Structure 1
Amino acid sequence: MRYFVTGGTGFIGAYLVRDLLQAGHEVTIFELAPQQEFLDEIVGAAGEASIVRGDVTDLAALLHAMKGAGAERVVHLASLLTDSSEENPLRAVRVNLEGTLHAFEAALAVGAQKVVWASSIAAFGRGPDELGGTVRNDDYHAPVNLYGASKAFLERCTATYRRDRGLDVVGLRFTIVYGYGKSFTVQRGSAVTHLEELIDKPALGQPGLVTNGDDVQDFSYVEDCARAIVLAAEAADTPSLALTVTGDDVRVGDVADMVRELLPDARIEVRSDAPMRIRAGYDREGTEREIGFRPAWTLREGLASTIGKLRARHGLPPI
C-alpha cells in the first residue's frame, strides 16, 4: 500500500513511518522542514521513505506530490500546535484549517482510499469534571483556544466531506502524548511543557519543576498513537467522524513518583499552583469497537522506554 504522510518527520509521524515501513508499505512524506536526523533515528533499519519538501498551505504543491506518490492512503499530521496557534492566528487558519482541507481535496483528486487526520481532545474544551462524568465520543465541543477550535471545525468538515464528497475520512483525537522526541513539539509551540520537566530533565540528571501536580491527565504513549493511526487507516467506513485515542488516566504528581521509582536520584519538585484540572476520563469504547485499538504500553513501560532512549542519546548509563 502507498501511504502519503504530511508531518511524517515529526514526533508521532516518525514512529508511524517506521511502523508502515516495517509492514512493507511504501511511504512518501510531505514536510515543510524535515527533521531528517530524528526520522533516521526512529526508523533505523526499517526502510527508507521518500521525502518531498512542501507546505500544506500550497494546494498545488500538495496535489502534485500526492499524485507523484500514487497515494492510496493519506495521513495528515502537519499542524500548528496550541501556543503557536495563539501567537499567530492567521497562520493557524492557513495551516490547521486550509492545510487540512487541502489534504482532503488532494486525496479526493487522486482517488485515495482513506484519509486519517490528527484531531485533539482540545476540540472538547471541557473535561469530565465539567461534564459530570466520562467525555463521550460524541460530546458537544466547547474549545477554549484557537487550536481546539480549529480541530472542532475540522471535525464538522469531516462530516461534509463524507456526506457530500464521498471521502472516507476520520479524525483521531490525541490526548497528552508522551515519548522520546516530545521535545520537538515543545519547540513547535506545544502547550505541554510540563512533560519536559516531568520526564526529559530528570532522565538527563537535571532538576524538574512541575506546577500542576494535582491535575489528572490521559497519558498516551507515542508508539500506541502511531499504531492507532495504522488501525484507523486500515478500517473502512468508521461510523464516527473522530475517535479519541486514550492511554492511562493518572494524576501528574503520581507520574513524578513513577519517574522517581525508575530514577531514584531524580530531582522533581511537584507543586499545585492552580486548581486541579481533569483532562482524562475519555470514552475509549468507540475507538476499540470501530478500529480495534487498545493501548499496548503501560505508563511505566512507556516512561521506561522514553527515559532509556533519552539517556542513550546523551551517553548516560541505562536505568
Structure 2
Amino acid sequence: MILVTGAGGFIGKEVCRVLSELGYEVVALDRQFATSTPYRQVMGDVGDPAFLARVFESQKFETVVHLASILKTASRKNPQEALRVSVGGSLHLLELAAQSGVSKFIYGSSITAYGPKPLARYGEVSEEEPPAPNTIYGVSKRYVELAGQNYNDQGLLQFVSLRIGMVVGPGAVNTSTPWRSQIFEQLGLKQPAPINFSFGENARLPLVYLTEVAEIIRHLHEAKRPKFTLYNTPVENWTARELAGYIQTLNPGLRTTFSSTAGLDDPEAIDSRRFRGEFGYQPIPLRERFQEFAGKN
C-alpha cells in the first residue's frame, strides 16, 4: 500500500492516477479533494501530528510518497505556516514512517533547494552541486532532505529525495503560475488566448511534464534499492523565448507576454543524467506533448 500526501494537488493527483491505474493500492491524503477518485481519500492536515498518527494506526504502508508542502509564494507570505506544515509535518511523517516499518520514503523536493545557479557560472547543475537555497520554500525542502538522509543513514527507512524541475501540464488549479497549464490547455483553442509568463523572455526554464514526474516516482517505488538518495528529475532546458515561440508556431492565436522581472530562484539548467543513466529513462519530448494538445499528431 502506498500513502501519497498532497494527493489533491497538481502533481499528487497525477501520481495517484498513474499508480492506481497500474494496480497499486493507493491512499490519497490531502486537506480536501475536488472530485471523487477510484482510490481511497483521507482528508486532514499534514501539520497535525494527531491526525497523522491516526492514519498510520489504521493502515500499514509499504511506501510513503510525500508531496504535501506549502508552496513558494504562500511560504513567503506565511513563513509560520510553512514551518508548521512543510517542516514540522514532514518530520512527524518521517518519524511515523520509521516507527511503523515503512520500507521506502520518497520525498518530493524541488530544484529550488539548489538556489539560483546561473548557467554561465554553474552550467547544468547536477546532484553534486552544493545546495544554497535563498527562499523559505527552498530552505524547507533542504531541511527535510537532511532529516530524511539522517533516517536513511541510521537504517530506519529507505529515503529518496527527488528534486523536481518546473512542472508543466494540464490541470493546475489555484496556482500563482497558471502558464504551466495554459501552454497546453490553450493550444487547441480556435480563438485568440493570452498566456502571461511570470518572468522575462530570457529566463531559463528546466521543464518536466506532469506525467513524467509520476512515472519517475513509480520507478523509485519499484526499485529494490536505488543507488542514490538524491535525484534530479529528467528535464528539458528551455528559454522562455524558445517556449513562447514554439507554442505560437503550433497556434498563432496565442498571445504571450512576459514579466518585466526576470529573476528566478532556481538553477537555470539541470543535469539529469543520474536518473536517466540508472533507470534507462527517456521522457517523451515536450515538443511531442505540445503537438498532441495542438492536434498536430
TM-score normalised by L of structure 2: 0.89
Q: 1:96 aligned to 2:96?
A: no
Aligned to 1:281: 269
Q: Counterpart of 1:258 in 2: which secondary structure?
A: helix
Whole-angstrom distance in 1 between the partners of 2:290 and 2:231? 24
For residues 1-319 of structure 1, the aligned pairs below 5 Å read: 2-36=1-35, 40=37, 48-129=38-119, 131-184=121-174, 186=175, 190=176, 192-195=177-180, 198-200=183-185, 205-210=192-197, 211-270=199-258, 273-274=261-262, 279-290=267-278, 292=279, 294-305=281-292, 307=293
Q: Residues 114 and 267 of structure 2 are in contact (CA less than 8 Å); yes or no, is this contact kept in structure 1?
A: no
Whole-angstrom distance in 1 between the partners of 2:265 and 2:273? 23
Q: Residues 6 and 77 of structure 1 are in contact (CA less than 8 Å); yes or no, is this contact kept in structure 2?
A: yes
Whole-angstrom distance in 2 between the partners of 1:276 and 1:159? 27
Q: Residues 128 and 134 of structure 1 are in contact (CA less than 8 Å); yes or no, is this contact kept in structure 2?
A: no
Query: Which ranges of structure 1 fall in alignment gaps of 5 or more residues?
Result: 41-47, 309-317
Residue type matched to 1:84 in 2?
A
- How big is the shift at 1:134? 2.3
- Across the two proteins, how many residue pairs are aligned to each other? 293
User: More displaced, 247-256 or 76-85?
Assistant: 247-256
- How big is the shift at 1:79? 0.7
Q: Counterpart of 1:207 in 2: which secondary structure?
A: strand
Whole-angstrom distance in 2 between the partners of 1:273 and 1:152? 26
Deviation string for 1:56-79 (max 9, x for gaps)? 112222132133232111111111
Q: Residues 4 and 71 of structure 1 are in contact (CA less than 8 Å); yes or no, is this contact kept in structure 2?
A: yes
Q: Residues 128 and 135 of structure 1 are in contact (CA less than 8 Å); yes or no, is this contact kept in structure 2?
A: no
Q: Residues 75 and 81 of structure 2 are in contact (CA less than 8 Å); yes or no, is this contact kept in structure 1?
A: yes
Whole-angstrom distance in 1 between the partners of 2:265 and 2:248? 23
* Residues 100/22 of structure 1: CA separation in 2 closer, same or farther (3 Å cut): same
Q: Counterpart of 1:111 in 2: which secondary structure?
A: coil
Whole-angstrom distance in 1 between the partners of 2:254 and 2:111? 30
Q: Counterpart of 2:127 in 1: which secondary structure?
A: coil
- How big is the shift at 1:194? 4.4
User: More displaced, 196-205 or 89-98?
Assistant: 196-205
Q: Among all aligned residue pairs of Structure 1 and Structure 2, give the percentage whose two residues are the same amino acid.
A: 28
Q: Residues 203 and 262 of structure 2 are in contact (CA less than 8 Å); yes or no, is this contact kept in structure 1?
A: no
Whole-angstrom distance in 2 between the partners of 1:28 and 1:256? 38
Whole-angstrom distance in 1 between the partners of 2:244 and 2:208? 16
Residue type matched to 1:163 in 2?
D
Q: Residues 187 and 250 of structure 2 are in contact (CA less than 8 Å); yes or no, is this contact kept in structure 1?
A: no
Q: Counterpart of 1:36 in 2: which secondary structure?
A: coil
- How big is the shift at 1:183? 3.4
Whole-angstrom distance in 2 between the partners of 1:278 and 1:95? 22
Whole-angstrom distance in 2 between the partners of 1:203 and 1:66? 44
Q: Residues 118 and 172 of structure 1 are in contact (CA less than 8 Å); yes or no, is this contact kept in structure 2?
A: yes
Whole-angstrom distance in 2 between the partners of 1:209 and 1:110? 46
Residue type matched to 2:240 in 1?
V
Whole-angstrom distance in 2 between the partners of 1:168 and 1:273? 41
What is the root-mean-square deviation in Å for CA atoms of aligned residues?
2.5
Query: Whose helix fraction is larger, Structure 1's or Structure 2's?
Result: 1
